[in-house]
């Protein structure tokens, strides 16, 4: 990037820049070192691989034109129409220029009006079937954005389709023109939106090369720290791109290494739920639904809105929950501390890309497993289960005693000693932080109903989608950190003597690995079809996963009035007492209890049948019916209430990897101080730029009732939408209880 200022500086974004400073020589040195630190992770593709992608996309474009011409002949269209073909556009990370080695390509097939969507999923799909070099072809026609997936000459491609209302698809077609959306069905609009958003992001950044380098670093960092997953409630590629683009707008002349540091500075201090906007939302006469919390009730429950810049504007981060936002904010603060040290010469860039030691971070975990009897059923089953895990997070964080429910995006194959009869198994882990309990000798925490309701929902949706097969099962259970070795090998656990996230429960009065499961059949537990190395002594019966429906979080009240400004509650490190603990037995007895607990169902009911397994008395005491009524003394039980982000749900976990450094005490120069106010800064100082740096005037979020922290999306099935399917499904009732002393 040039070190010399231009005659006139063009401003990008909804506010003035925070700093127009140009990089110094040391900044270019830091950028080069950052590049060198990223290279071992396969972030950059060489020219040979890049050229191969060009060739494959050219072949695909030719296939599309051949297909459209053949289709026109079959429909007896005039020769003038037959000459008009379609066109392939790319979007996503490949279009942004930040794809990694071996990454897939997101592509869009644009066709003229005489080509129907059914043609794409039938005749073009058949053409792909017989094309040399294409493998793993499958269509997902009922997806939110319908897609055909395949591998073409070794390159994974996700191809979506849009039928335009025009007769001719010209070579210079501009998809950014809103007129392209005229008279299209919603599926075509969604397909076009990927390209429109990607192109608009590139148009709204001042220096594309610096943007790309900074985005590569942030994406690698997010993946290494376990917060790259739109499906599980973190952020996906488009959201990360927009956050980096906003940073580029605020620091338009900064080097890539400086942008990475400023990224962490900006978003560790951002006052959510103020939206991140790359430009002011524009209206259109097409009357398509857009993100607007002033109009749409559901939009008011988004806790971390990041708004796409192309019409129709949408929130790309609608899956984010109170817990996942808190985890990400803590990671932003960690990233700021690390990059500050790097820029001061106290550390190097490899430190930024060190992975999070998730399995040493928390004292308590929920283990979810999904299993099926065949490989094909397993792939289908885990796709559905994984897509709903974020709903379990939402359900857990509504519990008044849970501060954080942190899911690790990576899944793991089942322990070969955990599953005895050959099933295909995947496991996910959620770290749990319990809230401090004041003025109570002991408090019972019952998670049974939370787990049961979400597993019911998964089975119900699977049944409605006709994907439920014999042998499909999900289970969930609570385990403590020291019991994780039953499920994972030592090299994954990375045992280090580090302080974990403190919470209010260190010991349990009951055995700590109690499972709630629902089985898709009466088949017994089986070995994983994808085993990994584990200690032969880790002989423990199988678990399986559960999943839930996503609900939206309630957001805190925001008022943008200059006369009456209310600050949004900050995400704070939870205050906990080390005195409050969950009692434990000695390790040998406890391990035995774990094995006994996971061995067989406690109360298993099958329509028309009853089956009760033998288990120790200590587990029987913890059992209750699915109504949520515990068998313990009701006087000692705390009733459930919805968990609101304004009452502690926004608290963030204390990182065990990196002790928190004071961020608030950092000196902010110029308009950096605007970040501290999150879009609502004080009216002192450089008023215009500082007050607008976070989009203060871009959007007003109405006051809402936060008594309910989550909302179901219109696309999700509420619990009462249909009965839980009873055919071939075993409903296993088992309690998951903890006692905080």
Burial code (b: 16+ CB inside 10 Å, e: under 16) for 96-112 equals bebbbeebebbbbbbbb
Length of the chain: 741
Cα-flanking dihedrals φ and ψ of residue 685, to 5°? 80, -145
CB-CB contact of 418 with 488 (8 Å) = no
Q: Which of 12, 27, 119, 219 is catalytic?
A: 219
Could you count the other beta carbons within 10 Å of the beta carbon of residue 731?
20
Annotated catalytic residue 158 = yes
Residue 282 vs residues 54, 286, 712: alpha-carbon distances, Å: 34, 12, 27
Beta strands in 126-183 (DSSP E): 134-140, 147-152, 155-163
For residue 273, is the peptide bond before it cis, meaning its omega torsion is within 30 degrees of 0? yes
Q: Annotated catalytic, 174?
A: no
Backbone angles phi, psi at 632, to 5 degrees: -80, 175
**CA torsion sign, 715 to 718 to 723 to 725?**
positive
Distances (CA, A) of 114 to 86, 191, 226: 11, 18, 45
Between CA 189 and CA 422 the distance in angstroms is 44
- 3-class state of residue 144 by DSSP: coil
Q: Are residues 674 and 19 in contact, defined by beta-carbon separation less than 8 angstroms?
A: no
Selecting among 87, 93, 408, 453, the annotated active-site residue is 93
Catalytic residue, chosen from 12, 94, 228, 362, is 228
The question of whether 93 is a catalytic residue gets the answer yes
- Residue with token string 């080097």: 255
- Write the CA distances from 143 to 146, 182, 320, integer angstroms: 5, 22, 20
Active site residue 424: no
Strand partners, 559: 566
3-class DSSP state for residue 365?
A: strand
First-to-last CA distance in the chain?
59
Would you call 722 a catalytic residue per the annotation?
Answer: no
Distance (Å, rounded) from C-alpha 95 to C-alpha 710?
34
Contacts of 25 (CB under 8 A, 6+ apart): none
Catalytic residue among 1, 22, 59, 104: 104
> 456's torsion region: left (phi>0), alpha (psi -120 to 50) or beta?
alpha
CB 160 within 8 A of CB 121: no
Per the residue annotation, which of 12, 27, 87, 106 is the catalytic one? 106
C-beta atoms surrounding 673 within 10 Å? 19
DSSP string, 297-308: TGGGG-SS-BB-
Task: Give the distance, in angstroms, between the CA of residue 499 and the centroid of all CA atoms in the same chain.
Answer: 26
CA–CA dist 197, 279 (Å, integer): 12
CA 84 centroid distance within chain: 41
H-helix or E-strand spanning residue 404: strand 402-407
Residue 89 dihedral angles phi and psi, to the nearest 5°: -115, 155
- At 583, list the tokens: 């009692």
Q: Is 209 exposed, middle or buried (0-12, 13-18, 19+ CB in 10 A)?
A: exposed
User: How many alpha carbons fall within 13 Å on the CB side of residue 669?
Assistant: 5
H or E, element range at 368? strand 364-372
Q: How many CA within 13 A on the CB side of residue 419?
A: 29
Contact 732, 514 (CB under 8 A): no
- Is 250 within 8 Å of 18 (Cβ atoms)? yes
Q: From the candidates 27, 119, 158, 672, which is the catalytic residue?
A: 158
Q: d(Cα 184, Cα 576) in Å, to the nearest integer?
A: 54
Active site residues per annotation: 93, 104, 106, 158, 219, 228
């Amino acid at each position: 990037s040039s070190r010399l200022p231009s005659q006139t500086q063009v401003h990008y974004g909804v506010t003035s820049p925070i700093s127009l400073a140009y990089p110094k020589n040391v900044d270019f040195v830091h950028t080069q070192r950052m590049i060198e630190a990223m290279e071992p992770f396969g972030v950059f593709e060489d020219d040979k691989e890049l050229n191969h992608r060009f060739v494959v996309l050219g072949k695909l474009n030719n296939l599309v034109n051949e297909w459209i011409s053949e289709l026109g002949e079959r429909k007896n269209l005039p020769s003038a129409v037959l000459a008009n073909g379609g066109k392939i556009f790319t979007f996503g990370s490949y279009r942004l220029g930040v794809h990694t080695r071996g990454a897939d390509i997101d592509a869009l097939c644009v066709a003229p009006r005489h080509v129907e969507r059914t043609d794409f999923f039938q005749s073009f799909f058949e053409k792909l079937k017989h094309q040399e070099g294409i493998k793993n072809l499958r269509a997902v026609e009922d997806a939110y954005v319908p897609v055909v997936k395949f591998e073409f000459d070794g390159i994974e491609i996700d191809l979506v389709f849009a039928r335009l209302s025009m007769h001719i698809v010209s070579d210079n077609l501009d998809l950014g023109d809103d007129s392209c959306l005229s008279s299209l069905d919603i599926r075509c609009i969604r397909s076009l939106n990927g390209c429109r958003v990607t192109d608009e992001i590139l148009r709204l950044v001042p220096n594309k090369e610096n943007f790309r380098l900074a985005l590569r670093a942030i994406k690698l960092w997010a993946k290494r720290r376990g917060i790259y997953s739109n499906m599980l409630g973190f952020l996906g590629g488009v959201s990360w791109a927009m956050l980096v683009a906003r940073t580029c707008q605020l620091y338009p002349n900064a080097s890539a290494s400086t942008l990475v540091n400023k990224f962490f500075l900006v978003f560790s201090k951002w006052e959510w739920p103020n939206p991140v906007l790359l430009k002011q939302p524009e209206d259109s006469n097409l009357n398509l639904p857009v993100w607007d919390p002033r109009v749409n009730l559901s939009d008011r429950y988004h806790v971390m809105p990041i708004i796409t810049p192309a019409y129709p504007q949408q929130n790309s981060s609608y899956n984010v929950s109170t817990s996942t936002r808190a985890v990400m904010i803590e990671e932003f603060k960690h990233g700021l501390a690390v990059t500050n040290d790097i820029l001061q010469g106290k550390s190097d860039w490899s430190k930024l890309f060190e992975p999070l030691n998730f399995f040493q971070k928390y004292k308590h975990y929920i283990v979810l497993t999904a299993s099926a009897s065949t490989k094909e059923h397993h792939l289908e089953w885990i796709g559905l289960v994984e897509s709903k895990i974020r709903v379990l997070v939402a359900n857990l964080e509504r519990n008044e005693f849970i501060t954080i429910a942190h899911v690790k995006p990576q899944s793991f194959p089942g322990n070969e000693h955990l599953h005895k009869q050959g099933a295909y198994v995947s496991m996910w882990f959620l770290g749990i932080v319990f809230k401090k309990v004041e003025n109570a000798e002991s408090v019972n925490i019952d998670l049974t109903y939370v787990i049961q309701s979400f597993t019911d929902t998964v089975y119900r949706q699977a049944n409605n989608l006709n994907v439920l097969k014999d042998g499909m099962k999900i289970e969930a259970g609570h385990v403590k950190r020291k019991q994780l070795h039953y499920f994972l090998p030592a090299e994954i656990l990375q045992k280090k003597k580090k302080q974990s996230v403190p919470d209010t429960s260190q010991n349990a009065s009951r055995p700590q690995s109690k499972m709630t499961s629902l089985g898709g059949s009466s088949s017994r537990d089986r070995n994983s079809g994808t085993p990994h190395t584990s200690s032969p002594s880790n002989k423990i019966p199988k678990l399986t996963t559960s999943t839930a429906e996503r609900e939206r979080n309630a957001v805190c009240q925001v008022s943008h009035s200059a006369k009456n400004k209310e600050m949004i509650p900050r995400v704070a490190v939870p205050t906990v007492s080390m005195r409050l603990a969950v009692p434990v037995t000695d390790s040998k007895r406890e391990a035995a209890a774990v094995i006994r607990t996971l061995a067989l169902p406690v109360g298993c009911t099958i329509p028309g049948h009853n089956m009760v397994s033998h288990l120790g008395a200590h587990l029987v005491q913890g059992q209750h019916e699915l109504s949520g009524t515990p068998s313990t003394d009701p006087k000692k039980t705390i009733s459930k209430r919805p968990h609101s982000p304004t009452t502690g749900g926004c608290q963030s976990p204390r990182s065990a990897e990196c002790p928190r450094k004071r961020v608030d005490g950092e000196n902010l120069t110029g308009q950096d101080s605007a970040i501290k106010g999150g879009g609502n800064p004080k009216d002192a100082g450089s008023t215009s730029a500082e007050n607008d740096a976070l989009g203060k005037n871009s959007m007003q979020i109405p006051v809402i009732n936060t008594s309910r922290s989550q909302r179901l999306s219109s696309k999700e099935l509420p619990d009462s939408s249909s009965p839980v399917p009873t055919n071939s499904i075993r409903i296993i009732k088992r309690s998951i209880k903890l006692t905080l002393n």
